[in-house]
Amino acid sequence: MSYVNPSSLVSTEWLSKHASGPDVRIVDASWYMPATKRDPRAEYDEEHIPGAVFFDINDISDTDNSLPHMVPSPEKFSSRMRKLGLGDGNRIVIYDGSGLLSAARAWWMLRLFGHHDVAILDGGLPKWKAEGRPVDDVPVMPAERHFTSRINNFMLREKDQISRNLTTGREQVLDARSPGRFDGTEAEPREGLRSGHIPSSFNLPYNKMFNSTDGTLLPADRLKTLFTETGLDLKQPVITSCGSGISACILAFGLHLLGHNRVSVYDGSWTEWASDETTPVDTRNSHAD
């Protein structure tokens, strides 16, 4: 089988051929967990794919919210995109320095705010560099471009909706964290958070979705098998979750490639859920054999 939405994933070869196209815009959306001590902006300034602008996930967020990198207002998102030269009529290609992690968050945000001509670079910057393709440190000064925000609230879930779903069961919840964090045997990287998962969740660690050789995404048939082996019903709506709303977007991207069009992301994810002492937490995998 093939991806249902193959245009959402582009190869390094494709980008190499089309990078200079008049309507193609390249975006570096690198972000790393604080514990890694990596500075994505500094790394971007040191080297990036020529012409790429930097999408700062921590800045392009609701910075008044105590939770990390929550979705900003449509006005702020439009303003930031305009200044990056990203807007209506652009074919936007996103990559990150991990291969595929935060690029999926930027992809999801652009679609959330109504821009659908957006793709992710398969294998990201690591694959691009491994193939000897060019990088530079030249500052990019984009011309501003109008961005029309049309937020699609069907793609976004908040804590009260997750709470109601515990009773209704209308949507399946798929968690991208590691098995240890999911079942409560491994401590959360954010200090003070309870371990475990939202009751009745399914678990698919996002890093299982990649080829071990080059970090590219698995082909469609293997990707579909991964999702179905969790117990997920691909004909029913899915909410993806993770630690703070980043890797949940990788699951959402994988489901999108397979043609699933009823997928939303729990923006606050485990950081929000586990911080509230009134929310129920499970450490048993109710879907295990």
| Catalytic (active-site) positions | 242
Tell me the sheet residues that pair with 26: 93
Q: Measured between alpha carbons, how far is 120 from 180 in angstroms, rounded to an integer?
A: 29
Element (H, E) at 88: none
- b/e map 19-56, b = 16+ CB within 10 Å: beeeebbbbbbbbbeeeeeeebeebbeeebbebbbbbb
Token pair in block for residue 226: 């991964």
* Rg of the chain over all Cα atoms, to the nearest angstrom: 18
Closest CA to 189 of 197, 198, 181: 181
